[in-house]
Amino acid sequence: MRRIIALPIAAILIFGTLTPGFSQRRGRIDVHPKLDTTSFIEDGRRLSLIVGTRAAIQRLDRDFIPLEIAVVNRGFAGLTLTPESFALVDADGRRYPAVSGGTLKKAYGNIDVDRRLSVLSSILRARHAFYTPVDGPLTASFDRPFVRDIKLHRFSFATEIVYFPRPTGDVAGQQLRLIMKTRELDEPVVVSFLIASRKS
């Protein structure tokens, strides 16, 4: 599991030089490997954390951006996921917590359109055919009520779209990081990724 020493960009740059598969090029950190054209994966021995950006690419002009997040548990007896488990970090080290459902309802509108852009569930069902998919939305929608905690037992996975405040500056092409921390994890898990522009 990769160790996050600090969130400021200088510390993460140092961290990148010490971690296998997380290399530094010309003063910038490489993104994590891709699972598909718009998704990035941290594929650890005991769990995988995946960030999908397909919906975010279509929402770069909004105040909140949707990230499709998937967690695959292959080595822990259980993991408890809540909205507070996740945070977005921009290139300058600013940290953005997940947006509440009430805020989204007032300021964003219908999120079911974003759910139709989800791709990770079908990918993981094919990749982990014998794992149990766990459904429990951390973000409420018209036909899916809010669930406070998602209990993820061993050999199961969950996918969810989680919303974050739009980082400052030009989001497309900016180095971003998703941080996940649960009470069962000794260390946070991080995925470094980019959101492509719609013209890419």
Element containing residue 25 per DSSP (H, E): strand 24-25
What does the block give as tokens for 169?
């500056």
β-pairing verdict for 78-81 and 150-153: antiparallel
Question: Tell me, what's the pLDDT at 8?
Answer: 47
Pick from 83, 73, 98, 70: nearest CA to 159: 70
Question: Tell me, what's the pLDDT at 145?
Answer: 52
Question: Tell me, what's the pLDDT at 15?
Answer: 36
Pick from 138, 195, 168: nearest CA to 63: 168
Q: In what order do the strands lie in the sheet with 86-89?
A: 95-97, 86-89, 176-180, 189-193
Please give the Cα distance from 155 to 133 (Å, whole number): 9
Label residue 65 left, alpha or beta by phi (over 0 means left) and psi (-120 to 50 means alpha). Answer: beta
Question: Tell me, what's the pLDDT at 20?
Answer: 38
Please give the Cα distance from 135 to 40 (Å, whole number): 21
Domains of the chain as residue ranges with CATH: 34-193 (2.60.40)
Distance spanning both ends of the chain, measured CA to CA: 32
Please give the Cα distance from 143 to 94 (Å, whole number): 33
Question: Tell me, what's the pLDDT at 11?
Answer: 42
β-pairing verdict for 156-165 and 132-133: parallel
**pLDDT tens track, the chain, 200 positions:** 444 434 444 443 333 333 334 433 434 558 999 999 999 999 999 999 999 999 999 999 999 999 999 999 999 999 999 889 999 999 999 999 999 877 887 888 778 888 889 999 999 999 999 999 997 666 655 455 555 688 999 999 999 999 999 998 899 999 999 999 999 999 999 999 999 988 75
Question: Are the C-beta atoms of residues 87 and 179 closer than 8 Å to each other?
Answer: yes
What lies within 8 Å, CB to CB, of 36 at 6+ separation is 119, 123
Please give the Cα distance from 156 to 146 (Å, whole number): 20
